[in-house]
Structure 1
Amino acid sequence: MAERTRDIAHVSAVELFTPVLDDTVRFFTDQMAMEAVDRRGHSVYLHTWDDYERFSLKVTAAPASGIGRSWLRARSPEALERRVAAIEKAGFGEGWNTDEPGYGPVFHFTDPDGHRFGLYWETHRYVASDETRPSLKNQAARFPGRGSNVRRLDHINFLARDVPENETFVNEALTGRPSEQIVLDDGTKAAVWYTFSDKSYDVVYTRDWTGSTGRLHHIAFATDTREDILRAADVFLEAGVHIETGPHKHAIQQTFFLYVYEPGGNRIELCNAGARLLLAPDHEVVTWTEAERAKGQAWGLKTIETFHTHGTPPVAESEWA
């Protein structure tokens, strides 16, 4: 077996669009316990408390909700060079950019579905202030002790018109490996989970039932424990945040979850994947069938209908019917 190259270190940050910027920012600072670290033009940069990088989330004012750019950090300068060459060979490169405040030079590109990415090596690490300096020197900032206390950005679930086309790109251009997938009875791949590291997954591509491109299913933030998610459900309830489904446990990837909508309409997941890591270098992809998925989640909760229909930006029925 040929040794597999692993050139992407992790998903580092994501940009969300929102038509209600101030409300969305308050959601992430008050209910998610994130810190606003910068504001430039119509964008606010936010930091999860144990992220070593300067920001974890960029929220940008826009006419509609949706996803902007997602950032990936390469494992080394050499890894960055290899991935840039592969992306350009695939025909999806857009060129270099030096305008983002959290990074050095960033290579911009898209996936086959039109989602925008930035790939980089040089980064500006988070520096704690007097107010956020931790007692323990091996964490980025002090534990906030409010809201849901999300620790880091965990993963992104993209909606895509063509899942297999994106699978080829992630495998070959980004060195991601699939960990689990849903295959329908007709042989169609409805969703694939990919990992860049020893985590069970970092990015997901789910078939967009509207046939649209470039949309978002959800972004997820990790908590320390399941109990944090249970507490977060009460935090969201009292704050009037729409809880879509959960708390519960997924069958796929076994993630303990809670899904809510932030004020701009984007779906946000709080997750805790426990101790499940993919340490086997020859991990075999786990395939789920239609019949297995029809059983619902791990403990029998049926998947709520909006989980299959809600994505951002919204698509009017007249645009896909």
Structure 2
Amino acid sequence: MTYKEPIFDVAQLSHVEIFSPRMDESLHFFKNLLGLSETERDGNSVYLRAYEDFYHHSLKLTYRETPGLGHVGWRSSSPQALERRVQSLEASGLGKGWIEGDRGYGKAYEFVTPDGHPQRILWDVEYYQAPEDQKTKLLSRPQRRPTRGVPVRRLDHVNLLASDVTKNKQFFIDHLGFNLREHIELDDGREGGAWLSVSPLVHEIAFLGDRTGKGNRLHHIAFWYGYPQHLADISDIFVEEGIRIEAGPGKHGVSQAMFLYVFEPGGNRVELFGDAGYLIFDPAWKPLKWTQDQIEEAIIWFGSPLPNEYFIYGTPHDTPPYQAGK
């Protein structure tokens, strides 16, 4: 069998920008409950990172009147790799052009998915330097573990709602070198969801079919704990703080990951990963296909069923999350 030559030009998910109409409440959620650290402020934006994220920031929180996705940032594997991906993106017709960069990183190339989700790819990054009172003796960690809330360890992935899962999936495969890890095929032949990565992780990006038909929306961003017990720990805090838990703790069939879904106060859905699921090291990995009669096990391996709003609500949305699905 002949295998397509892999593309290793995209190294990792670098950061995500999301919008919030309630900045103070959103900052309390991310900083005091999830333990993210603030590295900088600029205008209407605050730059945040988890304690095992090595760069200047992994989350950019920006004020807007409606919640949603600002952009997804990807880091290339070299300056040369960046140029190769830009050539491919320009040929795709979905490239938007170069920008000078942002706080924490240099020149970046902007593009969009076939659905229109804003993306950036870059190489030059600023590495986080902890202040004296946050330095750690653990050399493999960029800062001391915070003592606020139940701190997440790193940004894990982003999940986007798409009007056409296959078209968006194939774009990431053809132009960015992503590998399809798992997907759901519906009875009519359409793909209901696709999970892709450039690393041994099961996914750094996923696309779910948007049942509203709108597409170009954010389903969720996800942070990683590595310890399932932390999902119960943070759930206690969320209840006390009035943070709405949408679903979980539970376990997905896709990815095998322990999950918890909540709405941050700005209206965006956030997933918390209790463990790593499984890792993929096989260079000839054959994507796992779940069929429509297997969807229940794919979405929920164990735990309570997901509410209907999980498959409908994304940001931006016509109603806030406490009304969605009602």
TM-score by length of 1: 0.96
> In the TM superposition, what is the alpha-carbon distance from 1:275 to its structure 2 partner?
5.8
Aligned to 1:254: 256
Aligned to 1:309: 312
Tell me if 1:229 matches 2:226: no
SS of residue in 1 equivalent to 2:180: strand
Partner residue of 1:54 out of 48, 53, 56: 56
Aligned to 1:264: 266
Per-residue CA distance 1:181-221 (angstroms, 9 max, x = gap): 01111111011000111111110011111111320100000
> In the TM superposition, what is the alpha-carbon distance from 1:274 to its structure 2 partner?
3.1
Q: Distance between the aligned counterparts of 2:195 and 2:28, measured in 1?
A: 31
> In the TM superposition, what is the alpha-carbon distance from 1:230 to its structure 2 partner?
1.6
Aligned to 2:163: 161
Q: Distance between the aligned counterparts of 1:168 and 1:291, measured in 2?
A: 24
Aligned to 2:202: 200
Partner residue of 1:89 out of 82, 88, 91: 91
Per-residue CA distance 1:255-288 (angstroms, 9 max, x = gap): 1000000001100000034361111001111111
Aligned to 1:28: 30
Aligned to 1:170: 172
The letter of the residue matching 1:230 is A
Q: Distance between the aligned counterparts of 2:221 and 2:150, measured in 1?
A: 15
The letter of the residue matching 2:314 is G
Q: Distance between the aligned counterparts of 2:113 and 2:248, measured in 1?
A: 31
Maintained 8 Å contact 1:49/1:141: yes
- Unmatched 5+ residue regions in structure 1? 317-321
Q: Distance between the aligned counterparts of 1:103 and 1:75, measured in 2?
A: 14
Maintained 8 Å contact 1:253/1:273: no
> In the TM superposition, what is the alpha-carbon distance from 1:36 to its structure 2 partner?
1.1
Stretch of structure 1 that moved more, 22-31 or 274-283: 274-283
Q: Distance between the aligned counterparts of 2:306 and 2:30, measured in 1?
A: 26
Partner residue of 2:103 out of 101, 104, 111: 101
SS of residue in 2 equivalent to 1:131: helix
Per-residue CA distance 1:17-52 (angstroms, 9 max, x = gap): 111111111110011100111111111110111111
Give the aligned CA root-mean-square deviation in angstroms.
1.3
Q: Distance between the aligned counterparts of 1:274 and 1:209, measured in 2?
A: 28
Q: Distance between the aligned counterparts of 2:100 and 2:275, measured in 1?
A: 35
The letter of the residue matching 1:154 is D
> In the TM superposition, what is the alpha-carbon distance from 1:291 to its structure 2 partner?
1.4
Percent identity of paired positions between Structure 1 and Structure 2: 37
Maintained 8 Å contact 1:181/1:286: yes
Q: How many residues are matched?
A: 316
Maintained 8 Å contact 1:210/1:315: no
Q: Distance between the aligned counterparts of 2:236 and 2:183, measured in 1?
A: 32
Tell me if 1:298 matches 2:304: no
The letter of the residue matching 1:292 is Q
TM-score by length of 2: 0.94
Q: Distance between the aligned counterparts of 1:38 and 1:300, measured in 2?
A: 39
Q: Distance between the aligned counterparts of 1:150 and 1:11, measured in 2?
A: 16
Q: Distance between the aligned counterparts of 2:303 and 2:154, measured in 1?
A: 28
Q: Distance between the aligned counterparts of 1:120 and 1:219, measured in 2?
A: 20
Q: Distance between the aligned counterparts of 2:229 and 2:137, measured in 1?
A: 23
SS of residue in 2 equivalent to 1:253: helix
Maintained 8 Å contact 2:12/2:198: yes
Q: Distance between the aligned counterparts of 1:163 and 1:299, measured in 2?
A: 25
Aligned to 1:146: 148
Q: Distance between the aligned counterparts of 2:63 and 2:126, measured in 1?
A: 24
Maintained 8 Å contact 2:225/2:275: no
SS of residue in 2 equivalent to 1:95: strand
The letter of the residue matching 2:177 is T
> In the TM superposition, what is the alpha-carbon distance from 1:2 to its structure 2 partner?
3.5
Maintained 8 Å contact 1:179/1:195: yes
Per-residue CA distance 1:144-189 (angstroms, 9 max, x = gap): 1331210110000000111111112100111001100011111110
Aligned to 2:7: 5
Maintained 8 Å contact 2:249/2:303: no
Q: Distance between the aligned counterparts of 1:166 and 1:101, measured in 2?
A: 28
SS of residue in 1 equivalent to 2:17: strand
Partner residue of 2:214 out of 198, 212, 215: 212
